[in-house]
Structure 1
Amino acid sequence: MSTHSTTRRHAAGLAGAAALALIVAALTGCDGPKPEPGPTDQDNQAPARETALEHAAKHQDPTYICPMHPQIRQDHPGTCPICGMDLIEKRVTPKAAAPETEPHPEVAVSGLMQQRLAVRTAEVERGPLAREVRAVGRVAYDETRLAHVHPRAAGWIEGLSLRAEGEPVRKDQKLADLYAPDILSAQVDFLIALERGGSNAPRVAPDKARNILRLLGVPEPVIRDIERSRETRNTIPVLAPADGIVTRMEAREGMYVTPSSEMFTIAALSEVWVMVDVFEHQLAWVRPGMRAEMRVPAYPGRTWTGKVEYLYPDLDPQTRTLRVRLVFSNPGLELKPNMFADVLIAGDPKPDAITIPREALIVTGQRESVVKALGEGRFQPVDVATGMESEGRVEVLSGLEPGDAIVVSGQFLIDSESSLQASFRRMR
C-alpha cells in the first residue's frame, strides 16, 4: 500500500468521526463545547459615577511640556530646546464639585473673649417709630410782609428822615419830603373846586379833586390841612406804609425820582420764614400745618415753635431735595434774616415698626447686616433690609423678628471672622 492511499484513508476516517460527533450532539441536545469567557460590553463601559471629564483624563494621550516655557509641547518625553530642562507630563485633572457653604457661617466666641471685645447685645423691638425730619434752615424775610415805597408822581426829594438801611420804622412815620409839580397842580385844582363849589353847592367837583390827591399819594391829614388852610404845600411827606425794618434805601436827598423808582423797601420782622431742604425719601412725612421746632446758634437753649406753611412744587435737580417753607413768630425780633437754624419737623409716628439700635447696623456699601446672638457663645451675621431711621433707631423690613438678640458693640470683628471662615470654606 502506497503512502498517498494511507493518507487519504486517515483523512476520511477523521471526517467520519467528526460527522458522527455532530450527529450524537444533535441527538443528545448538547450545544457542544462552550467558548472561553471574554470581555463584555459592560466591562468596556466606564463606571456610572465616572464623569466625561474623568473618562477623558483616564484615556487621553500624555502631553509633555516645559515648566519654564509652556509653549513647548510634544507627545513624548524629552528636553526643552530653549532651556534644556526635562519635559514633564501634563494631564487633565478633574475638579471635584465645590461644596455649598453658608455665606455667613456661625462664629463661636468664648465668654472671656466676649469680655475683651466688649460685646453687648440688645433685643429687636416692635413699636411706634417717630417720623422726624431734621434739617438745616435759613431765616428769611416774610415776603408777604415786604412793602415797596414808590413815588406816585415824578419829582425831587427835598429831605430825608432816614440815615441808612437797617433802621426800624413805624407805620405812617415820615421817610422823606417830595416835591412833585403834578401834585402841586392837583392841589391848585382842589382849591379851585372848593372855591367854586361854595357851602351849598354839590360836592361832586371837590370830591373828584380830593380823590386825585389821594391817588397821587398825598396823605389824608395833608389833604385836610390844605382844605382847612386853603393853601398849597410845595412838598408832600412820604410815609411808611407799615412797621418794619428798612432793608433797602435807594432815595438820596436831591435825587430826581419817578414812579418806577423804588425809594425804600420795608420788611416786617414780627414773623419770619425759615427755608429748609427736605430729602426726597422724606417728602411723604411732611405736609402743611405740621408742627416745627427751631434752634439757632445765637441763642443756645432757646426753642422757637412754628409750623410748615408751604411745600414748593419742584425738586432741586442737583441735591434731589425739596424746599419747604416754615413760619415762626418773632415778637422780640431776635431772629434775623440769613441766620442758620437747626429745624425739627415732627411728623406722625409709624405704628408697629420693627426697629434696632442704629449702632447695631453694619453697612458695607454692598449689603446691610447685623450680628445675631444665637446663645451659648454662638453668633451669626444676618443680612437685613432697612427702612426709615429716627431717634437713633432703624426700621428693619426683613431679616429679623421681634425678640431676636443682636450685637450692638463688637459686631464688626465677629462679622469679619465669619467672612474669613466663609472664604476658607470656599477655598477648600
Structure 2
Amino acid sequence: MKTFFTLALGIALGAVVVGLWSSQQVDTSAANAEKQPLYWVAPMDANYRRDGPGKSPMGMDLIPVYDEAATEDAPGTVRISPEVENNLGVRTATAEARVLSARITTVGYVGYDEDKLVHMHPRVEGWIEKLYVKAEGDPVQKGQPLYDLYSPELVNAQEDLLLALQRGEERLITGAKNRLRALKVAETHIEDLVARRKVTHTITYFAPQSGVVEALSIREGFFVQPGSTLFSIGAVDTVWIAADVFARQVNFLRAGQKVHITVPHLPGKQFSGELAYIYPTLNADTRTLPVRIRFNNKAGLLKPNMFAELVIEGDAGKAALTVPREAVIRTGDQNRVVLDLGEGRFKSIAVQLGRVDTQFIEIKDGLAAGDRVVTSAQFLLDSESSKSSDFLRMSPVAGVASVWVGGEIVAVDSQSRTVTASHDPVKEWDWPAMTMDFSVADSVDIKPLQAGTRLHMEISKSGDGFEITGTHIMGGANAMMKENTAHRSADQHIAEVDGVINQLDRKNRTANISRGPVAKWNRPAATLDFLLAQEVDLSVLKVGQKIRFRFRVVEGEFTLVEILSTTRQDAAPMDHSQHGGSL
C-alpha cells in the first residue's frame, strides 16, 4: 500500500512538472514554429538528453527545448498555459499604497509597580521578638503591625528621653525625640512614652503602605542589623507589565500610547493602560526592546507574574506601497516576489522590504503601484524562474526609451545577432552593473563587436527585451575608435577638427586643447587632454595657437596623430611647457 501511495504521489508531481514545462512550450509554439529544437529532455531528469523525440527511462514523452536566447522574454520568464495556471491555483494581488496597521502585538508578565515597592531595613541591631506577618504574599494594610524588635540601643534612646523630661530642658527633650524618630520609632510610641514615663523593651514597627508582602527574610528570634532586608511590600492597586518589542517595530512606539491586554486566566476581560516607559537600549541576548506598561488594578484581578497578551496602538505613519505578506519569498539572503507579466508569463524579481503588519508588507524597491504579484503557488513558479532569472524588473523608467552606457563585450553570436555584454550602472533605469544578453539592431554593424571590446552602447527597449541600437567603440580587441549608431553605419575611426591649444607639455608630449564639435560622431565641442603621437612635430606648436588636427581614441585615450594647419592667436594662455606640470 505504501509503495502504491509513493508511486501515485510521484506520478502526480510529475504531471504538475510536465504540465508546467509543456505549457511553456505550448505557449511559445507560435514563436518556435519555424525553429528546430536544440535537444529533447526528460521531464523528470534534466540531465537525460536526446537528439530527437522519444521516451524517458520512466516512460514519459521527452520534451523539446528551444533556443531561449532567440525569444523576446526577459531572462527567467516562465510561461504557463491557462489550464496549468488554474490547476496550480495561481492567485494574484495588486501592489498598492496602504496605511500599514501600526498595532504591535506582543506578550509580557505582570509585575509590581516598582514606584510603590517598599523595602524595610532596621536602623539598629536587635532581635525579632514577635512576627505578625508570617508568609510572603500576605496582604497588609498601612499602619498594620509587622514585627516587635528588642534592641539595647532603642532602650537607651527611650531612657535619654525620660531623663530629658525629668530635667525639663526643652532642647534635650526635642533632641531625644528626634533620635527616636531617626530610629523609625512610631510617633504613637513616643507620645505614649512621654505620657507613661516608662521604657518598653520591645518596639513595634508598622507597615508604611498597603499591599502584599513581596519578600520576607526574617523569622521570630532572628538577629538583625542595619543593612538586613526584613520586608518588601508591593502595592497592587497599580501594576506594571514588562514586554519586549521587535527592533523593526521600535519606530512605531511613543510614550503614552494606549495599550490593551488580555489574560488567559481571565477569559472575556480586557484591560486598558498606557505605555509608561521605553527603555533606551535593546536586550543584548534577544535583540528586542523592553517596554513598560502601567495598568490600574483597583479590582486586584491582575496578579504579579501573570502571563498577558498585549496590543500596543502604535503610530500608523504615511501610506506606503504594499503587497500581501504571503506574496514575499524569503530565501535568507534575498527577498523575492513573482511578478505576473500577463498572458501566462511570470518572473521572479528581487524586492527590498520595509515595515510589516499582520497582513501586508511594505515594498521599498522593486515594484511599482499597480503591479500584480502571485500570492499562491509562487514557490513553484519561483523555482522555475530563478534558474535563469536576473531577479531584476528590467522595466525602463517612463519617458526614457533608451540610454547610453559604458560596457564591454563578453561574447558574440553573429548568426543570431546577439551579444553578451557587461555594462555599468544605468541610473535612468535604476539598474546596477551586470552582465546580460542583448540583441543587436540591424542598423548596427556587428562586425567590430568582439569579445573584449570596450565601448559606449545605446540600449533601447524592444518588446519584452532590450537591444543595442548604437555603439561608440573605445578600444579592446581592435584597439581603435569606431562609431556606429542607428543613424551611421560607416566605419570611421579618425576625426578631423579645429581647436585651440590651452596648455602644452613638451616633456610628457601632452596638450590641453579646446576642440570644436565632431559632426560625424555627433559630439559637441569640448576641452580635453590629448596625447601627442611620436610623428607630431612639437616645434610648430605654441600655447594659444589655433590648429586643425586629426585625432583618434586608443584604449580610452585621445591621441593627436596629425597637424593639418596652424594659426597664431593674439591672446595666449601661459605656456606650462617649462614646468612639466600635469594636465
Q: Is the TM-score greater than 0.5? A: yes
Match of 1:276 in 2: 243
Q: Does 1:168 align with 2:139?
A: yes
Whether contact under 8 Å (2:78, 2:381) holds in the other structure is no
For residue 102 of structure 2, what is the aligned residue in structure 1? Answer: 131
**What's 1:357 paired with?**
324
The 8 Å contact of residues 127 and 150 in structure 2, kept in 1 or not, is answered as yes
Contact 2:75–2:388 (CA under 8 A) maintained in structure 1: no
After TM superposition, list the pairs within 5 Å mapping 1:106-117 onto structure 2.
Answer: 106-110=78-82, 112-117=83-88
Residue matched to 2:155: 184
Task: Give secondary structure in 1 for the equivalent of 2:175.
Answer: helix
Structure having the larger proportion of residues in strand: 2
Identity between Structure 1 and Structure 2 (%):
43
- Secondary structure at the counterpart of residue 309 of structure 1: strand
| Contact 1:157/1:255, CA 8 A, preserved across alignment | yes
Q: CA deviation at 1:99?
A: 7.1
Instruction: Give the deviation of 1:244 after TM superposition.
Output: 1.4
The answer on whether the counterparts of 1:170 and 1:243 sit within 8 Å (CA) in structure 2 is yes
More relative contact order, 1 or 2 (CA 8 Å, 6+ apart):
1
Q: Report if the CA contact (8 A) 2:78-2:384 is conserved.
A: no
Q: CA 1:358–1:422 in 2, change beyond 3 Å: closer, same or farther? A: closer
Query: What is the rounded CA distance, in whole Å, between the counterparts of 2:292 and 2:372 in structure 1?
Result: 42
Correspondence for 1:318 among 282, 285, 305: 285
Structure 1: gaps of 5 or more residues = 1-95
Report the Cα offset of residue 421 of structure 1.
7.4
Deviation at 1:216, TM superposition (A): 1.5
Residue 98 of structure 1 deviates from its aligned partner by 7.3
TM-superposed CA distance for 1:387, in Å, is 0.8
Name 2:92's counterpart in structure 1: 121
Would you say how many aligned residue pairs link Structure 1 and Structure 2? 324
Amino acid corresponding to residue 401 of structure 1 in structure 2: A
Give the letter aligned to residue 162 of structure 1: V
Counterpart residue number, 1:142: 113
User: 1:214 aligns to what?
Assistant: 181
Alpha-carbon distance between aligned partners in 1 of 2:159 and 2:339, rounded to the nearest angstrom = 93
8 Å CA contact retained: 1:139, 1:336: yes
CA separation of 1:97/1:266 partners in 2, compared to 1, >3 Å: closer, same or farther? Answer: closer
Q: Deviations over 1:114-169 (max 9, x none)?
A: 33222222222212113333333232322222211122222221111112111011
Task: State the Cα distance separating 1:97 from its structure 2 match.
Answer: 13
CA distance in 2 between counterparts of 1:302 and 1:380 reads: 49
Aligned partner (choices 103, 109, 112) of residue 75 of structure 2: 103
Residue 330 of structure 2 aligns with an amino acid whose one-letter code is V
Which shifted more, 412-421 or 277-286?
412-421
Residues 192-211 of structure 1 show CA distances to partners (whole Å, capped at 9, x for unaligned) of 222322xxxx6333222211
Q: What is the match of residue 416 of structure 1?
A: 383
Shift of 1:394: 0.4
Rate the CA distance shift 1:130–1:422 in 2: closer, same or farther, 3 A: closer
**In terms of mean alpha carbon deviation, does 378-387 or 355-364 score higher?**
378-387
Q: Return the structure number with greater helix share.
A: 1
Contact 2:340 2:373 in 1 (8 A): yes
Amino acid at match of 2:310: V
The one-letter code matched in structure 2 to 1:179 is: Y
Long gaps (5+) in structure 2: 1-66, 391-419, 421-583
- What's the CA shift for 1:228? 1.9
The separation in 1 between residues aligned to 2:230 and 2:285, in whole angstroms, is 37
SS at match of 2:179: helix
Question: Which residue among 388, 392, 410 is the counterpart of 2:359?
Answer: 392
> Per the alignment, do residues 251 and 318 of structure 1 end up closer, same or farther by CA in structure 2, a change over 3 Å counting?
closer
Displacement of 1:226 after TM fit? 1.7
Contact 1:107 1:418 in 2 (8 A): no
For residue 331 of structure 1, give the secondary structure of its aligned residue in structure 2. coil
Give the letter aligned to residue 318 of structure 2: P
2:252–2:316 CA contact under 8 A, matched in 1: no
Paired residues for 1:6-405 under 5 Å: 102-110=74-82, 112-197=83-168, 203-405=170-372
2:323 maps to amino acid: I
The two structures have a TM-score, normalised by structure 1, of: 0.69
Moved more, 211-220 or 130-139: 130-139
Deviation at 1:243, TM superposition (A): 1.1
In the alignment, residue 195 of structure 1 is paired with which amino acid?
A: Q
SS of alignment partner, residue 194 of structure 1: helix
Work out whether residues 104 and 382 of structure 1, in 8 Å CA contact, stay in contact via their aligned partners in 2: no
1:161 aligned partner, one-letter code: Y
Larger Rg: 1
Aligned-partner residue type, residue 218 of structure 2: A
For 2:319 and 2:223, locate their aligned partners in 1 and report how far apart those are by CA, in whole Å.
Answer: 69
Query: Secondary structure at 2:319's aligned position in 1?
Result: strand
Deviations 1:53-108 (A, max 9, x none): xxxxxxxxxxxxxxxxxxxxxxxxxxxxxxxxxxxxxxxxxxx9977973321423
Match of residue 407, structure 1, among 374, 386, 390 = 374
Change (3 A) 1:422 1:352: closer
CA contact (8 A) 1:160 1:175 kept: yes
In the aligned structure 1, how far is the partner of 2:344 from the partner of 2:220?
86
- Computed over aligned residues only, the root mean square deviation of the Cα atoms, in angstroms, reads 2.7
TM-score by length of 2: 0.51
Instruction: Call closer, same or farther: CA 1:422–1:313 in 2, change over 3 Å.
Output: closer
Tell me, in whole angstroms, the C-alpha distance in 2 between the residues paired with 1:342 and 1:192: 63
Give the Cα separation in 1 of the matches to 2:285 and 2:227: 37
Letter in structure 1 aligned against 2:240: W
Of residues 264-273 and 414-423 in structure 1, the stretch that sits farther from structure 2 once superposed is: 414-423
| Secondary structure of 2:204 counterpart | strand
Q: CA 1:289–1:246 in 2, change beyond 3 Å: closer, same or farther?
A: same
